[in-house]
Amino acid sequence: MRTVAEFRIEYLRQLSPQGRPLDELPAFAADNEELLKMFAAMLRARTFDAKAINLQRTGKLGTYAPCLGQEAAHVGVGAAMRPEDCLAIVYREIGTLFWRGVSMTEVLLYWGGDERGNNFAVPRHDFPWCVPIATQTLHAAGAAMAFKIRKEPRCAVAYIGDGGTSEGTFYEAMNLAGARQLPIVFVVVNNKWAISVPIEEQTACETLAQKGIAAGIPGVQVDGNDVIAVRDCMSQALEKARNGGGPTVVEALSYRLSDHTTADDASRYRDEAEVVEAWKTEPMIRLRKLLESRGVLDEAREQAMKAQFTREVDAAVQEYLNTPRQATDAMFEHLYANPPPYLEEQKELARRYAGTGRPSH
């Protein structure tokens, strides 16, 4: 008997949970203004997140997927990407969207049931929200194939959650990416829970990063609460892909501090002591402590940032609430070049009953 192949998964971390550098930090981390920008992006996302939940609770927004506790995984990825790269999101990566230029109003419109919120003004080439699990990975793989065929120095990035890695679509996307050595990075945000199913019941794998091995794709695990480590890891993976080195699977270990969505009650299946422990290592703490140790962040400056972001969020909420509703015709647009007769009948029925409050049957 002989060994024909061996594999290993590395774990990356730059900062301890207390904000102490564990080794020499990457070059970008020497720039305090850049780190402040990343801290601000995380704080901005958290401020928006809290407001969006309140809007849902008061009936002004539909079901919403919070990102509390996962801001570092999102901002670190966004900071590593180039504007011309292509992003395929799931349904909670607002930190990445905001970094790339998507507006708060667009996000609110989408979760308010208005598809115009999916029509990002910036960046135009990123994919819209994707609630069906794992289908966005194939979209990203297709974009990456186009980049390779056109010989464009661009990369695709596909997010997926820990539960989504059990979907066949995810494996199909990885197989295509590995076989064709496509310029793509799969980012698995492992927040420990696929709604109510814990990671231990989802898979027998020691890591989710190793799921890429079967497709010939190297995997790496990173502390997803360490925004410096996430950015550095993603920068390396993207640079490799951009230079023809093929795809990477990056597993970012984090924790979902909130409910899965506003339609969920995590207290029914999750031990409160586990959540209390997770709060001790949440991502804002370590970067805050690092910046405080460098003398570039204090309580007054952070409070001023919070106040600024609260004003931004409030302005976006007003813009969202003041946006006129679309006509019912919008539901039928962009489906067919030549709509079938039954859709035309439905369109006319919707026009007749729009705003009447009466049932249409």
Query: Which sequence positions are flagged as catalytic?
Result: 256, 260, 269
Query: HEC profile for 16-84?
Result: CCCCCECCCCCHHHHCHHHHHHHHHHHHHHHHHHHHHHHHHHCCCCCCCCCCCCCHHHHHHHHHHCCCC
Residue 299 neighbours by CB distance under 10 Å: 9
Q: What is the DSSP letter of 169?
A: H
How far is 119 from 62, CA to CA, in rounded Å? 18
* Close Cβ partners of 43 (under 8 Å, ≥ 6 residues apart): 284, 302, 305, 306, 309
Q: What share of the chain is helix, strand, coil (3-state, %, to 5)?
A: 50, 10, 40
How far is 296 from 35, CA to CA, in rounded Å? 10
Q: 66-97 b/e with 16+ CB inside 10 Å = b? A: bbbbbbbbbbbbbbbbeeebbbbbbbbbbbbb
Q: Say which amino acid occupies 157.
A: V
With residue 10 as reference, give the H or E element that holds it: strand 10-12
With residue 215 as reference, give the H or E element that holds it: none
How far is 101 from 131, CA to CA, in rounded Å? 21
How far is 162 from 252, CA to CA, in rounded Å? 10
Exposure on the CB side of residue 203, measured as CA atoms within 13 A: 18
How far is 361 from 276, CA to CA, in rounded Å? 50
